[in-house]
Amino acid sequence: MAADPDTRQPAPPRNRSNVQISHTSHDGAISVIVTLDGQVRDLQLAESATRRPAAQLARDILDCIHSAQALFDPPVLS
């Protein structure tokens, strides 16, 4: 017997916080995972990253986070 279309339950809405993307720095020393809303879910540092001066490490971490977040941005059409 076929299901009555009026009694089927709609699919639950997708949870946007479950959408994640990872990004790794060009040298592989920094890896981040961010959610669609920009939240940082994970940050991994290789041993080589910890040998950088603190100010450089901070910039590199932020660059990696921003690069990951930019992957969610829709392309700009000209």
Q: What is the pLDDT of residues 6-60, one digit of tens each?
A: 555 555 546 655 789 999 999 999 999 999 888 999 999 999 999 999 999 999 9
pLDDT reported for residue 37: 85
pLDDT reported for residue 66: 93
pTM of the predicted structure, to 2 decimals = 0.70
CATH number of 19-70: 3.30.1310.10
Beta strand 20-24 with 30-35 is antiparallel
Q: How many residues does the chain have?
A: 78
Of 77, 78, 69, 74, nearest in space to 19 by CA: 69
Asked if residue 4 has pLDDT above 60, the reply is no
Both structure tokens of 3: 């299901």
pLDDT reported for residue 25: 94
pLDDT reported for residue 36: 87
Cβ neighbours of residue 48 closer than 8 Å, sequence gap 6 or more: 27, 29
The residue extents of the domains of the chain are: 19-70
pLDDT reported for residue 16: 57
